[in-house]
Structure 1
């Protein structure tokens, strides 16, 4: 595995640009190369980011080409067509699978042996495709998964009971999309169950919180055209954990091989221990019967999309 603290970003749109700024602003890594079909944009973004460096930490930032990928520790892929108002993440699948396939073809011409971090949507599908098309071991192909959804959950609950979000512990699991669910049985504020703070939560109250978390992207896209800051911050945190070998527990999209949740051959959102060599282990959340059914349903939605969209494109010459 490389140990250069080098990151290559593929895709310099709203998310990619915000991610690059997050890395520079937080001093994550020693080197950042930016790739996009619009070379002029990456040249401009790299120069703009360099002008922030005197206020921050030294870092090599530049407009990159695929030939720069070989010695990278992390390649983060945000490239793809954006989600439009009224579209679900799964509506993007065929378009973005073809874009991803062309990107991976270029990367695999190099000696890249690091970790793929997938952020383009639908992230669970594209993470699965990356593993299959590259032949990389699944622990070295991860998706941002429900990291952003979990952050939205923590912030929503924090505002509900008037505490800071860092004191809220719990996860959104499953697809990063419409079939995701909240593992209510595991939410804690401090060391106390959530209902110790809120009182009894009926189905209507729980659904209201889930809707606010699940539909946040639609709300933002309708108003400003794209989400960027939240997911960029999540990606920066994931990248820091990898580069610093922190072995932190993060909600990610990871491969299920039958050992967890009774799921097999699908990428889905769950907490996992992450370090310099990728996923160390899946931190399976104990689910009640209702939550287990929700997890199986979410995986089933993703499996159906894989069968309908991934397999036909996988068979294309």
Structure 2
């Protein structure tokens, strides 16, 4: 028997993948880290470059450029391969291109004998998480999308910035599609246990419009970043490492990931961003928040948008 060490395999070493690899090494999250990409030269270069940083890393990590056979012993396979969002393109515009790419990837991973957890980062993430679940045949709790993990982080950062509080003490969620129909859960947003409405009263120059604008900046952050630098990758890479740690360290952490809904939030048969308890077995359970009527309506709309895409692109 192989002595158990945590092995993470990354498929796709573009901007997001290589940023994730760098953050993984910096935080010493896994003992083995394998990189797979069609561009062999680039990935080999990445592996060499990362290995040269090992003397400065907090923990020993074995890093190499590998192939699909390395997935057999992997605890987690992270997929960040696929076509990128171009300026002016929505995440949903990528569906067809990336579904075809994912079919080939997931089939090769499963052919290796992989029996771990898939983490999906490629956009449109909710659709591609569903696709991964279908193509892999794995139980729903072992397929996790990055969902609204980054949107939630953006929300917490901007709220912290607005009220001059450390974002780590802000508890607020963005749920729904990772995209244009996502929504803020204002009804459960708090800082240090005090609702946002209570904080608003303490801020002299507070205007409700500020919070409306703050959410628009959360929702449209990717477009703003893509316009300025062509792609977003540092924030999502940090979010993926956070999710990886929650799995490998059996944390039972609550993270807003893309999870499969079965009679939760009044929805069935789709992956969508919701708070969920994440541990070594994947998604232990979905946390069902009691939403306000307006939030319920918005969530339902977000779910319908995703369901229609699944119907048209997957159930042909």
Per the shorter chain, which TM-score range? Answer: over 0.9
Give me the whole-angstrom Cα distance separating, in 2, the residues matched to 1:227 and 1:118: 16
C-alpha distance in 1, partners of 2:147/2:9? 19
* Cα root mean square deviation, aligned: 1.3
Uncovered stretches (5+) of structure 1, i.e. residues with no partner:
313-317
1:177 matched to 2:179: yes
Are 1:219 and 2:224 counterparts?
yes
Asked if 2 retains the 8 angstrom alpha-carbon contact of 1:153 and 1:213, the reply is yes
1:215-257 per-residue CA deviation (whole Å, 9 max, x = no partner) reads 0000111111110000000000000111111111111000011
- Alignment match, 2:272: 268
Task: Tell me by how many angstroms 1:310 deviates.
Answer: 2.0
Q: Which runs of 5+ in 2 are unaligned?
A: none
| Per-residue deviation, 1:207 | 2.6
How far off is 1:173 after superposition? Answer: 0.4
The reply on whether 1:242 has 2:242 as its aligned counterpart is no
Query: Kindly tell me: are residues 153 and 3 of structure 1, through their superposed partners in 2, closer, same or farther at Cα, counting changes over 3 Å?
Result: farther
Show CA shifts across 1:104-135 (max 9, x none): 11111111000000000000000011111111
Partner of 1:100, secondary structure, is helix
Q: Which residue does the alignment assign to 2:110?
A: 108
Q: Distance in 2 between matches of 1:311 and 1:157?
A: 40
Say how many residue pairs are matched. 310
Residue equivalent to 1:291: 295
The C-alpha deviation readout for 1:165-206, integer Å capped at 9, x for no partner, is: 011001000000000000001000001000111239876444
Aligned-partner SS, 1:91: helix
TM-fit CA distance, 1:263: 0.4
Partner of residue 80, structure 2 = 78
**Cα pair 1:18 1:232 within 8 Å, conserved:** yes
What secondary structure sits across from 2:60 in the alignment?
A: coil
Distance between the aligned counterparts of 2:211 and 2:4, measured in 1? 44
Moved over 4 A (4+): 200-203
Asked whether 1:87 is paired with 2:92, we answer no
SS of residue in 2 equivalent to 1:160: helix
Compute the TM-score of the two structures, normalised by the length of structure 2: 0.96
Contact 1:4–1:71, Cα closer than 8 Å, also in 2: no
Query: What's the CA shift string for 1:269-288, capped at 9, x where partnerless?
Result: 01100111101111112211
Deviates more, 1:228-237 or 1:2-11: 2-11
Match of 1:43 in 2: 44
- 2:17 corresponds to: 16
Asked if the contact 1:4–1:72 (Cα under 8 Å) also holds between the matched residues in 2, the reply is: no
For the residue of structure 2 that corresponds to 1:212, the secondary structure is helix
Match 2:159 to one of 157, 160, 181 = 157
CA distance in 1, matches of 2:288, 2:172: 13
**Residue of structure 2 in register with 1:62 after alignment:** 64
Corresponding residue for 2:315?
311
Task: Compute the displacement of 1:143 (Å).
Answer: 0.2
Change (3 A) 1:135 1:202: farther
